[in-house]
Structure 1
Amino acid sequence: MMKQLVEKTRPDSVAGQETLPGDLMSNRQRVQLVLVLGAMIAIGPLTIDMYLPALPAITAGLQTTETAVQLTLTGTLLGLALGQLLVGPLSDVIGRRVPLLAGLALHIAASVLCVFAPTIGVLGVLRVLQGLGVAAATVVATAIVRDLFSGASFARIFSRLMLVMGLAPILAPTLGSGLLRWTEWRGVFAALAVLGALLIVVAALRLPETLPVVRRRHGGVGATMRDYRRLLNDRAFVGLVLVAGLAMAALFAYVSGSSFVLQEQYGLDEQQFGLAFGAGAVGLIAATQFNVRLLRRYTPQQILISALIGGTAAGLLLVMFATTGLGGLGTLLASLWLVLAAAGLALPNAPALAMTRHSEAAGTAAALLGAVQFGIGALSAPLVGLFGTGSVPMAIVIAGGMAAATLVMLLVVPRADLGVVDPDLAVALH
C-alpha cells in the first residue's frame, strides 16, 4: 500500500500547502514506516556501540593497547561521516533505494570480515568500511521522511526517529554484554552481519522508491557543490548542525570511555556494565517524553537552550565528582544520567530545527547534519583516550562538548531567524 501511495501521489499545491504521499497514509502505515526507518537508523548506533563491553577483551585478544582499540571506534565514526557526505547528494540524484541497499550490503560484508580480523589494524580498516555502509541507512532514512512528509507531519515523524537515534547508542552495549555471555567478542560482529542481512531484506521488500525522477537533482558535481554552499551559507542551519554535533560528541565521549571507567576503574563485570550503561537510557527516555509536555508551552529553541545550559551544569558536576571521588560510583552515574537527560532534549530539537529549513535538498542536508554529528563524535573518542582511560578525562570531554554546544547556540545561531519554523515545530516536534 505504501508503494502505491508513493507511485500515485505527486506533490502539488492545495491552498498554498504542499501535499506529499505521506499525507495520505493511515496511522497504521505511518507506524509501519517509523518501525522500518527506525530499524535502518538503529543499525548505525548498534554497529558503533554493541562491541563496547568487549573493548578490554579485544585489547587482550589482539595484544594491543587501549588507545588503539578506541581508534577502531573513531574509524567507524569517520566512515559514517564520510559516507553520509557521499550518499546524501547521490541519493538526491539517483533515488533512495540503490544507495540504501548497496550500503547495507557493504555493512554485511565488512561485519563478516571483522569476525576473522587477525590484527587491530585490519579490524580498524574494516570498522571504517562498516561505517561507510551504515551511513547509507542513516542518511537515506532521514531523506525518506522529507520525501513523504512536510510541515507538522514531517516534524512528528522525524522526532520519532531522533528518539531511536538517541536510544540506540545507550541500549546497544546492553545488547552486546548479553551476547558476550554466550560468545566472545567476534560473535558481536557475527550478530551485526545477521542484523544487516535482515535489514536488507526488509528494505528490499518494504521500502519503495520515495524520490520520483521528476524531483531528483540534476547538474552533477557542480549542483552538489552549490547545494553544500547554500547550506553552509545559512548561519542558523550551520549553528544548529554544530550544536547537534557537539551534543553528540558529549554522548560519544561517554560511549567510548565508559567501558574502561566502569569495568577497570570501578570493577564492574561485562553484565554489570551493560546494566549500568543501559540504565542511562531511563534519563534519555524520560527527557524525550517530557519534551512533549514542554512543547505545549515553550518553543523548540527555548527548550534547546535550557537543555544545553542544564547539560553544561551537569557536566561540571561530573567533572567535580570524577576529580574528587566524592560519593563514589553513585554520584558519577547520577551526574552522567543528568547529562544524558539534557541530550535527550537537545538531540531531537536541534536536528529538527535544522532539517526543516531545507526541504529542496533533503538528502544533502541530512548528509551534512549526520556527517558533522558523527565527525565531531569521532574526535571526542580519541580525546578521551589521549588523556587517559580514567573518569576525569571522560568527564572533561563530556562537559566540554555540552559547554561548546551551549556557546554555539547562544552566540552563533540567530534566534530571530528560527521563528520561520516555529509554528509547525512548536505543536508537533514530537
Structure 2
Amino acid sequence: MGRKRYISLILVLGTLTALGPFSIDMYLPGFPAIAKDLDTDVAGVALSLSSFFIGLAAGQLLYGPLLDKFGRRKPLLFGLSFYIIASIGCAMATSLNALIILRIIQALGSCAAAVASMAMVRDLFPVKDNAKVFALLMLVVGASPMVAPAIGGYVTAGPGWQWVFVILACMAVVIMLGVVFVLPNSYKPDPNLSLKPKPIITGFMNVLKVPQFYTYTLTGAFAFSGLFAYVAGSPLVFMEVFGVNDKVYGWIFAGLSVGFIGSSQVNTLLLRRFTSEQIVKVSLPAQAIVGILFLTGSVLGVLGFWGTIVMIFLFLSCLGMTNPNAAALTLAPFSKNAGTASSLFGALQLGIGALISTSVSLFDSLSAVPLAAVMCITAVIAYLVFLISTRINRGKFTGVTGDSVVAGH
C-alpha cells in the first residue's frame, strides 16, 4: 500500500471515528444556553448526552450484522444519511424531551461510522499493525476534543447552540463524500448471513465466548467509561463549581485532550519495543492509581482548580495508552466476523459508558467529588477485571499476531 493511499485511508477512517466524538464535544459548552432555551437545568441537558450514548450502544448491535451481510459501504451511507436528518432535527428542537429523542436517533446514525471504521481497520491492515492504526485514528479523533468545544463555545455565544447541529450535519455530508470517493468496499458481502434474531444472537454469543474478546472488551469498556464520566461531568465541574464561562471551558477541554491524544501517539512509539499486552499491564494500574489520588484529593478539598486539571490530565494520559491496545487485542482473534465483533465491542463499551455518564448526573452535589468518584471506581474495576480474567484464561490469548477465530452464525 502506497504512502499516499495509506494516509488518505487513515484520514477518512479517522473522520468516521471522530463523528461521534464531535457530536458529543461540540455542544458541551452550550449546556447552560440549551438549559435556558428549553426551560430546564444543566443536569437535565446532560440527559441528552446520556441518551446519545444509549443510542450509540443500541445502534452498534444493529450495524454489525448489516456490515457483515451487505458489505461496509451501503450500511455506512445509510447511517450517515440518517445522522444528517437527525442533526437538522436537533437544531429545530423546542423541548428537552424532543432533544433527548432526536439525540438517540442521531446516535443511531453516527454509530454506523464508528462500527464500520473499526471493522475496516481489521479489513484493510495487517492484524499486527492494528494497534498502530488505532493510535493514528486517535490522532484524527483528537481534533474533536481539541477543536470541537472551542468551536461550540464561539458558535453558542454567537449565532446560538442550534447552529452546532447544523455544522455537524454539514460535516457528515463532507464525510459521506470521502466514503464514496476514497474508501473501498473492503469486505465481500456474505449473502448467506441471516438477519433473523436467532442466528444474529448466536453470532454475538460465539464472539462473546472468546476469552480474549470478553477480557479486553470489559477491561477497555470500564477504563474508557472514565472518559464518558469526564465528558458528562466536566461542564458542571468547570462551569458551575469553578465558574468559568463557555469559551474558557472549551479551551480547558481542548487542553486536557492533549493528554489523551498525546499519550496515544507515544503508544505508537512504544509499540516498536513492547507488545500491546505489556503496555496495558502498565497503563491500567497507573490509571487506577491516578483515579484514587483524584478522589482522595477531591474529598479532602486540597486539589482546587489546577489540581483538578492535573488529575484529569494524568487520567486521560493513561487512558490514551490503554484504549488503542485494548481495541486491537479485542478484535485480533477475528477475521470473517470483524463487523459483528466490533459492533459487540462498541455496544458493550458504549452501554457501560452510558450508564456511567448517567450516574454522574444523578449526584446532587456542587463539587468535583462525584466526577472523581466515578472515574476512580471505573479505573479500579477495569484493572480488577483484567487481573482476574487474564489469570483465569492464562494461555488462551493469541495477542495480536495469532490465528484468527471465525465466530460462526
**Could you state the TM-score of these two structures normalised by the residue count of structure 1?**
0.88
Matched residue of 1:180: which SS? helix
Aligned equivalents of 2:164, 2:249: Cα separation in 1 = 16
Q: List per-residue Cα deviations over 1:171-208 (Å, max 9, x = no partner).
A: 53233223234321111111111111211222222223
CA contact (8 A) 1:163 1:348 kept: no
Q: Which residue number in structure 2 is paired with residue 89 of structure 1? A: 65
Q: Which moved more, 1:125-134 or 1:215-224?
A: 215-224
1:404 corresponds to = 381
Determine what percentage of the aligned residue pairs are the same residue: 37
Question: For the residues of structure 1 that align with 2:396 and 2:26, how far apart are their CA atoms?
Answer: 37
Aligned mate of 1:420, from 378, 398, 401: 398
Q: Does 1:241 align with 2:217?
A: yes
* TM-score, with length taken from structure 2: 0.92
CA distances 1:238-276 after superposition (whole Å, capped 9, x unpaired): 121111111221001000110111011101111111111
Offset at residue 284 of structure 1 (A): 1.6
1:3 corresponding residue in structure 2 = none
Query: Which position in structure 2 is the counterpart of 1:334?
Result: 310
User: Which residue of 1 is the match for residue 230 of structure 2?
Assistant: 254
Match of 1:22 in 2: none
User: Residue 182 of structure 1 corresponds to which residue in structure 2?
Assistant: 158
| 1:45-194 alignment runs, 5 A limit | 45-165=21-141, 168-169=144-145, 171-194=147-170
Q: Does the 8 Å CA contact 2:60/2:347 hold for their aligned counterparts?
A: yes
Q: 2:249 aligns with which of 270, 273, 276?
A: 273
User: Could you tell me whether the CA contact under 8 Å between 1:50 and 1:172 is conserved in 2?
Assistant: yes
- Decide which of 371, 390, 393 is 2:367's aligned counterpart: 390
Distance apart, 1:297 and its partner CA: 3.7
**CA deviation profile, 1:351-402 (whole Å, cap 9, x unmatched):** 1101111112010011011111111111111111111353110110111111
Q: Which runs of 5 or more residues in structure 2 are unaligned?
A: 403-409
Could you say which residue in structure 2 is the equivalent of 1:374? 350
Aligned counterparts of 1:170 and 1:365: Cα–Cα separation in 2: 30
Moved more, 71-80 or 158-167: 158-167
| Match of residue 193, structure 2, among 197, 200, 218 | 218
Conservation of the 8 A alpha-carbon contact between 2:119 and 2:338: yes
* Closer, same or farther: CA 371–169 of 1 in aligned 2, 3 Å: farther
Shift of 1:303: 1.3
Q: 1:352 aligns with which of 328, 349, 352?
A: 328
Cα distance in 1 for residues equivalent to 2:145 and 2:214: 24
Q: Tell me the number of residue pairs that the alignment of Structure 1 and Structure 2 aligns.
A: 400
Counterpart-to-counterpart distance in 2, 1:347 and 1:163:
13
CA distance, structure 2, for counterparts of residue 422 and residue 187 of structure 1: 43
Shift of 1:134: 0.3
2:390 alignment partner, SS class = coil
Please name the residue that 2:180 is paired with. 204
CA gap of 1:250–1:318, structure 2 versus 1, over 3 A, is same
Alpha-carbon distance in structure 2 between the residues aligned to 1:409 and 1:168: 29
| Whole-angstrom CA distance in 2 between matches of 1:38 and 1:293 | 19
Structure 1 residue 315: deviation in Å?
0.9
Superposition CA RMSD, Å: 2.0
Is this contact kept in 1: 2:232–2:360, CA < 8 A? yes
Q: Is the 8 A contact 2:17 2:113 kept in 1?
A: yes
Q: In 2, distance between residues paired with 1:170 and 1:403?
A: 27
Query: Residues 38 and 293 of structure 1: is their aligned pair in 2 closer, same or farther, counting only changes over 3 Å?
Result: closer
State the match for 1:7 in structure 2: none
**Which of the residues 345, 363, 382 maps onto 2:339?**
363
Of 296, 302, 305 in structure 1, the residue corresponding to residue 278 of structure 2 is 302
Matches within 5 A, 1:10-21: none
361-370 vs 54-63, greater mean Cα deviation: 54-63
> Which 10-residue stretch deviates more, 360-369 or 228-237?
228-237
Contact 1:284 1:343 survives alignment (8 Å):
yes
